[in-house]
Amino acid sequence: MRPFGSITIAMLLAAGASDTRAHRAASGWDYPFECCSEADCARIEAAAVRETPSGVVVTIAPGGHPMWPTERRQPAVLDIPYGKARLSPDGFFHLCMNDAGELLCFFSPAGGS
């Protein structure tokens, strides 16, 4: 993946300075408020992420994310441009999506997939 610029890092730091909280990742950092409503975000496996020339494609199997339960018959496939990716504070991939399978936020470790 492309390296994250200083503007992206500054935006991440500013987002973390807010007193408004969403929910916490298992590793202890808080997902930004604009990304979730207590259940929209979760760590995903690196195998679900495939790099493309313009970004990444994330494929979530039914049951692979809290917002994509096992009752779904098809995987959720999200095409995420590099510009929409945020730096992951814990070095793992995290996806925030709504129950329609639409992207809210995507976090990638430094260095990409």
Convert the pLDDT of each residue in 9-24 to its tens digit.
334 433 443 344 458 9
Provide the 3-class DSSP secondary structure of residue 98: coil
Which pLDDT score is estimated for 36? 84
What size, in residues, is the chain? 113
Q: With bands split at pLDDT 50, 70 and 90, how would you rate the model's confidence at 42?
A: very high
Q: For residues 78 and 29, what is the distance between their CA atoms, to the nearest angstrom?
A: 24
Answer whether 0.85 is exceeded by the pTM.
Answer: no
Residue 22: per-residue pLDDT: 55
The CA distance from 80 to 82, in Å, is 6
